[in-house]
Amino acid sequence: MGKSSDSAVKRRRVFYIPGYDPIHPRRYRELYRKEGAAQAAISGYDIALSPGRGDGHYGWHVQAQIDGTKVTTDVDVLVWSDIVRDSMDTSIPATYLQLIRTAWIYAASGTLWRLMKLRKGPVIAALYPVGMLLGQALLALLLLAVIYAFLSPVHPVLGSVVGAAAAIWLLRWFKGKDSRFFAYYLMHDYSYSAASRGANSPELEARIAAFTDTVAAALETDVDEVLVVGHSSGAHLGVSILADLIRAGRVPANGPALAFLSLGQVVPMVSFLPDAHRLRADLRYLSAQDTLAWVDVTAPGDGCAFALCDPVAVSGVAPADKRWPLVFSAAFTQTLSPARWKALRWRFFRLHFQYLCAFDRPKDYDYFQITAGPQTLGARYAGRVPSRSRIDHAVSKFTSVAA
């Protein structure tokens, strides 16, 4: 596993892979700055940020002193927000066509029913944009009908024209306020993978190849650990990046320790689809490798993640020699104070990002100690047992790994 997994870390490279997010990566820098300072104040260590290295990647430099050890970390965001923005650049009618197509693919393939056997939260989150968009359409039709009923006795054509114009205005208003409703955003998110029935688009495959080259280059540098962090949809990108990297023999025998931290993963939303052969093959391959440590952290309080679902096992591709991932819970109800939990409990999207934030009653999960502290990921959790309540049996209907 490269350098000894129990060696101290003084220099680290972190590659953060966001989920399906169209926003500029500066939001992750500011989140790290704010929440890192909060966690340092709670846990009694020092952490400070400065500008990144300016090598073409968006990132930042971290200097920390934790447990008496000074550690420097360079964090880079592996950006695919441009691909996300392009996939979201659709008209209102096109979005409703996506709704029909996506619902059909998940329902007709039997994938939706299998997903419901795991966790209800993310399935409800997937159904939310369907219900919200249909509700918006019904309100628009109701507005059209009311205006037509009012004006048609005087002028039927005028009633039709004004009613249609009002309905279109209402639909555009809803879309313009989607930062409040998240209906279009989530619909585009789920339809992105469903459109290809779980296969990667050519654009995404090209980006995965570029990301693989970037991580491979870091493994040739004089650092103690290279840590890949995949959040939400970024988790399954991380799986493919690291599987490609190891398959190609690009992990130096005496290089930095290699680690993968998947957070709030939604892997089953893709791996359960009929044509997700590539992802299932990567999950199977990566789970048996001894060249990295892979830790998967979720929490039942996160309604947008498949909490405590072993992504390899539930996808039905666990090999006999499976080693990874180590699956455990961030236990929001225990690691957040009652007052903090009460404030966040119904803020579903905020909770989905809690893994990247400070905990006011931290246990053994601390994002900032993992990314800026003196231990490798493998050493930090070497004695950690997986959560007993994890789901680690095959659930997916589709388990083929060859296209």
Model confidence pLDDT, tens digit, residues 342-380: 999 999 999 999 999 999 999 999 999 999 999 999 999
Contact between 328 and 387 under an 8 Å Cβ cutoff? The reply is: yes
309 pLDDT band, cuts 50/70/90, is: very high
Mean pLDDT of 237-245: 98
Q: What pLDDT is recorded for position 330? A: 97
Q: What pLDDT is recorded for position 152? A: 87
Q: What pLDDT is recorded for position 68? A: 92
DSSP state string for 65-119: EETTEEEEEEEEE---HHHHHHHH---HHHHHHHHHHHHHHHHHTSHHHHHHTT-
Query: Residue 67, by phi and psi: left (phi above 0), alpha (psi -120 to 50) or beta?
Result: left
pLDDT at 1 exceeding the cut of 70: no
pLDDT at 138 exceeding the cut of 60: yes
Q: What pLDDT is recorded for position 170? A: 97
Q: What pLDDT is recorded for position 7? A: 67
4 pLDDT band, cuts 50/70/90, is: very low
pLDDT at 6 exceeding the cut of 50: no
Q: Which residue ranges make up each domain of the chain?
A: 1-403
pLDDT at 5 exceeding the cut of 50: no
Q: How much of the chain exceeds pLDDT 90, in percent?
A: 89
pLDDT at 176 exceeding the cut of 50: yes
Distance CA(179)–CA(189), nearest Å, equals 14
119 pLDDT band, cuts 50/70/90, is: confident
Q: What pLDDT is recorded for position 3? A: 56
120 pLDDT band, cuts 50/70/90, is: confident
Q: Which helix (H) or strand (E) holds 387?
A: none
Amino acid at 17: I
Q: What pLDDT is recorded for position 2? A: 52
Of 53-67, 78-92, 198-212, 230-244, which gets the smallest average pLDDT?
53-67
57 pLDDT band, cuts 50/70/90, is: confident
Q: Is this model's pTM higher than 0.75 or not?
A: yes
Tokens coding 231: 């959040």
Task: Give 3-state DSSP helix, strand, coil % of the chain, rounded to 5.
Answer: 50, 15, 35
Distance CA(75)–CA(166), nearest Å, equals 48
| 263 closest CA partner among 38, 68, 31 | 31
Q: What is the mean pLDDT of the chain?
A: 94
pLDDT at 233 exceeding the cut of 80: yes
Q: What pLDDT is recorded for position 154? A: 85
Contact between 28 and 15 under an 8 Å Cβ cutoff? The reply is: no
Mean pLDDT of 329-336: 96
402 pLDDT band, cuts 50/70/90, is: confident
Mean pLDDT of 326-335: 97
pLDDT at 231 exceeding the cut of 50: yes
